[in-house]
Structure 1
Amino acid sequence: MKDYQTFYQKISKPFLKKSYQQALYYTNKVLTMIMYIAYPALLIYLFYTHSVMLVKTILIPAISFLLLSLVRHYINSPRPYEKYSIKPLIHKDTKGHSMPSRHVFSSAIIAMCFIHQNSLLGGLLLLITLIEAYIRVVGGVHFVKDVVVGFLIGIGCGLLLWI
């Protein structure tokens, strides 16, 4: 983006009040926690129902996560707060490894695991993933392209569950 600082100022402006920054921070934490709880809960459910999907639901996200992490390490794209003079609303000390967003990828593939089992619950988790993606950009820790690519790769890898 040609003038990222102007773009970031525009999208982050509604969140400049300290109370709104805290709301953004805690919303990010709560939505992340939902995913951290949901995925193991799904695995436990699949285990206790003796589902043939258990192995796929473990291996596909795990292998995809590892491959994505390798690609992300190789790309080593800087984060918005490194590349531009912006103060992120979500504090993060990480240098590089911005592209693609592993956070959004993980949420998207978890949502896909749920869609495979329950489309309504999976759809809700996909909506949460989109909210997380928005928060990551507004929070200043990812560029739009980072979260879009992370989301699309998560969806694509999640589609492997149907093979």
Structure 2
Amino acid sequence: NGWFVLFTTVLIMGGGFFLLSLGRRLYNRPRPYQTWDIQPLIKKDSLGKSFPSRHVFSATVIAMLALLINPWLGGTMLFLAAILAILRVLGGVHYPSDVLAGYVIGILVGLLLYL
């Protein structure tokens, strides 16, 4: 039973990350520093693949897993994932819609862990 839980958790989280990455690659949205005349505060050399944010998705889906184990820890981690989202926008590497999508998709994929 423990192996099944581990397998399904890895499958859900890893599958979500894979599908999110595939969608990013296919959509290939330019990053803010490509379309605006700004120098990003976060050092980033890559072009495109801005939507949705994988950093925010990953932090959020991990927080959803933590929420299953310890609600206080999971809630704190969800809050920190939201802070990360704000920092990614302020850093100039994502649009608000990129991080919002990453957060929402992270919650939705995380909800699959509750099934």
Instruction: Using structure 1 for the length normalisation, give the TM-score.
Output: 0.67
1:128 Cα deviation (Å)? 1.0
2:86 aligned residue: 134
Number of equivalences: 114
2:65 matches 1:118 = no
Shift of 1:57: 2.1
> Taking CA–CA contacts closer than 8 Å with sequence separation of 6 or more, which of the two structures ends up with the larger relative contact order?
2
Give TM-score scaled by structure 2 length. Answer: 0.94
Counterpart of 2:25 in structure 1 is 73
| Structure having the higher Rg | 1
Cα deviation, residue 116, structure 1? 1.2
1:162 is paired with a residue whose SS is coil
Gaps of 5+ in 2: none
Q: Distance in 1 between matches of 2:66 and 2:101?
A: 20
Question: How high is the sequence identity, in percent, across the aligned residues?
Answer: 49
Q: Which of 98, 102, 108 pairs up with 2:54?
A: 102
Supply the RMSD in Å over aligned alpha carbons.
1.1
